[in-house]
Amino acid sequence: METDTIAAISTPIGEGAIAIVRLSGPEAIEIASKVFKGRNLTEVDSHTIHYGKLINPQTQEIVEEVMVSVMKAPKTFTREDIVEINCHGGLVSVNRVLELILENGARLAEPGEFTKRAFLNGRIDLSQAEAVIDLIRAKTDRAMNIALKQMDGRLSKLIQSLRQELLETLAHVEVNIDYPEYDDVEEMTLEVMKEKTNHVHHQIEKLLQTAKQGKILREGIGTAIIGRPNVGKSSLLNALAHENKAIVTDIPGTTRDVIEEYVNVRGVPLRLIDTAGIRETEDIVEKIGVERSRKVLQEADLVLLVLNYGDEWTQEDEHLFKAVEGMDVIVIVNKTDLPQQIDMDQVKKLAARYPLVTTSLIQEKGIDELEQAIADTFFEGDLNTGDLTYVSNVRHIQLLKDAKKALEDAIGGIEAGMPIDVVQIDVTRTWEILGEIVGDTVSDSLIDQLFSQFCLGK
């Protein structure tokens, strides 16, 4: 159906020793063979991998040492010919490979375009495609896990069990309606119906609460490090980045060149905002200040407010506390290696509602405590067990909200004294909406349930 060949870097940027550039489309193999020195890729078997070198066909210059996988349609992710070029990790080399491929006939893939092709070629269904799309966007291990779990059907299992619960209730109402003469089937009452709908409603609410966390997991927590000059913001940044392997992404073309770094602190993905600003300005005392911090605060979900243990409390510190009011804040009193100058009572008073950590970043002290505080702030202690189901997909969240609304309609109907078969309309709708999440809307299952649950007949 598609006529052009697309290519993109398909591994997370900056991570890992190996990066992969993927091509998909009718000319994928031809384009790859143009730049590949080794076996003739147009003649190799499908699903084989080959060692060789990438060369620039114009200059004959060697670009990279690579392994190339050739997968022919239709048994591929997109059901098109696919070539995957495994090259050395790191931004520079992988970008050179991608550029080379683009120069030789491929088009840069739009976000999610591989998945879109897989979907349009009938390789995956909508719900899987959506999970894959989230997978592509996943920035940290945990978000990656959520996307994977979703594909495994952890969420779908939970939804299925809620649907089964509704289905049994529905079948019960149906049997009362379609077989009114059967007096040995007990009548489903509005009270029982209310109990069931309330229970499912509660479950959906719980799921929706995880949705917010799911979103944060996927996009990273926007984290701002603020503080007066020379309190150790840069050291803090380095400490976090050093321990947790920062990923640096450049977002050019925006009004200001923001540099964000991703770090994974005990499973919590932090998106550190304006790290360049911190690094640039830390040494140049005159340029800094509260102004820059204010800007950064606008997009922050979490604030790391750094104070200097070895310096007196100032008006500026006070301003900072005011600026972060109402936000998630962790207060860090750094430089405990210096003699105390700061008024800790004052700090404790102002930081009463926030976690407070003391560190000496130079002596690498207190970093563990800080990381724990970050994890606690986000997970509230119980979320990092790994077996909670998160809803992370926008469509799923919307459907869950719809389902919740339908259940509320049903509960409203019960309270307004509507007959049970009318209330059932909304319960059935809930069941259908939940079915959309797991891609199952076959209405015959109600009839199957009816006949397996009850004994009927002439």
Cβ-based nearer residue to other proteins, 120 or 148: 120
Shortest separation between residue 399's beta carbon and other proteins, angstroms:
13
Counting Cα atoms < 13 Å in the Cβ hemisphere of 231 gives 30
Shortest separation between residue 152's beta carbon and other proteins, angstroms:
20
Cβ-based nearer residue to other proteins, 79 or 142: 79
Upstream peptide bond of 355 is cis (omega within 30 degrees of 0): no
Phi, psi of 329 (to 5 degrees): -130, 140
How many whole angstroms separate alpha carbon 305 and alpha carbon 90?
Answer: 32
How many whole angstroms separate alpha carbon 235 and alpha carbon 412?
Answer: 57
Shortest separation between residue 41's beta carbon and other proteins, angstroms:
25
Shortest separation between residue 384's beta carbon and other proteins, angstroms:
35
Tell me the sheet residues that pair with 356. Answer: 331
Shortest separation between residue 176's beta carbon and other proteins, angstroms:
8
Upstream peptide bond of 74 is cis (omega within 30 degrees of 0): yes
DSSP 138: -
CA distances from 128 to 23, 84, 171, 301 (A): 21, 22, 29, 30
Cβ-based nearer residue to other proteins, 172 or 196: 172
Cβ-based nearer residue to other proteins, 290 or 446: 446
How many whole angstroms separate alpha carbon 380 and alpha carbon 216?
Answer: 14
Cβ-based nearer residue to other proteins, 61 or 184: 184
Tell me the sheet residues that pair with 330. Answer: 304
Contact between 34 and 57 (Cβ < 8 Å) = yes
Cβ-based nearer residue to other proteins, 36 or 119: 119
How many whole angstroms separate alpha carbon 400 and alpha carbon 68?
Answer: 43
Cβ-based nearer residue to other proteins, 182 or 321: 182
R_g of the chain computed on alpha carbons: 29
Cβ-based nearer residue to other proteins, 386 or 417: 417
Shortest separation between residue 108's beta carbon and other proteins, angstroms:
23
Report the run of H or E that residue 54 belongs to, with start and end: strand 48-55
Report the run of H or E that residue 205 belongs to, with start and end: helix 190-219
Shortest separation between residue 251's beta carbon and other proteins, angstroms:
33
Tokens of 46: 């499908």
Shortest separation between residue 194's beta carbon and other proteins, angstroms:
15
Helix, strand or coil, per DSSP, at residue 9: strand
Cβ-based nearer residue to other proteins, 16 or 439: 439
Shortest separation between residue 1's beta carbon and other proteins, angstroms:
5
3-state helix, strand, coil in the chain (%, to 5): 50, 20, 35
Shortest separation between residue 162's beta carbon and other proteins, angstroms:
19
Report the run of H or E that residue 303 belongs to, with start and end: strand 302-308
Cβ-based nearer residue to other proteins, 1 or 92: 1
Tokens of 327: 């936000």
Binding site for other proteins (CB under 8 A): 1, 79, 119-122, 124-126, 170, 174, 176-184, 413, 416-422, 425, 439, 442-444, 446-447, 450-451, 455-458
Report the run of H or E that residue 37 belongs to, with start and end: strand 36-37
